[in-house]
Amino acid sequence: MGIISHQYNESHKITDVRFCNLETYNDPEVFSSLIDAISVWAINNGMNRMVGPLGFSDKDPQGWLIDGYNEPIVIATNCNFPYINKMAEELSFTKEVDLVVYRVPIPEELPEFYKSIYKRFTSRENDLVLKEFTNRSQVNHTYTKC
């Protein structure tokens, strides 16, 4: 899909078209045809550079996977086969940034270091207040003492 984010382009004084959700078999001709279709559309709309994978929002998953192809897919991340990267490079796309997904192991029991932080925090009852929220609207109606 090709996307023109007029607001982003205007605020950054650029004329970029974004592309994302580009899926294909391992067929350079199909990949090239998809890119060409977005390119023609972009040029017809006054754009002069293609960037992607980049979705509607800068908070959407960005970039192509370059490692960890055998790992499970995680929510809000891109996934692709290794051949996608090779076909993009063959069409002279260059990388601007590495985006990473990583796994943080969660231990069965809380490490002593964190237990000591919790103990220090909870022993200061007069200085700190712990507030718990079950929905976003409660955050907006919570006030702190200054």
Model pLDDT for residues 28-61, shown as the tens digit of each residue: 999 999 999 999 999 999 999 999 888 887 777 7
Q: Is the pLDDT of residue 10 over 90?
A: yes
Where is pLDDT greater, at 31 or 22? 31
The confidence score (pLDDT) of residue 143 equals 57
Q: Is the pLDDT of residue 144 over 80?
A: no
Look up tokens 């605020």; give the residue: 11
Q: Is the pLDDT of residue 66 over 90?
A: no
Q: Is the pLDDT of residue 141 over 70?
A: no
What three-state secondary structure class fits 119?
A: helix
CB 38 within 8 A of CB 2: yes
CA distance 139 to 136: 5
Total number of residues shown for the chain: 146
Lowest pLDDT segment from 8-22, 36-50, 76-90: 76-90
Q: Count CA atoms closer than 13 A to 67's CA, side-chain side.
A: 5
CB 58 within 8 A of CB 9: no
Q: What is the pTM of this model?
A: 0.65
The confidence score (pLDDT) of residue 142 equals 54
pLDDT mean over 73-77: 75
Beta bridge partners of 54: 62
CA distance 54 to 102: 19
Contacts of 45 (CB under 8 A, 6+ apart): 4, 17
Beta bridge partners of 18: 3, 51
CA distance 46 to 48: 7
The tens digit of pLDDT for each residue in 87-108 reads 999 999 888 777 776 777 888 8
Residue 6's pLDDT band (cuts 50, 70, 90): very high
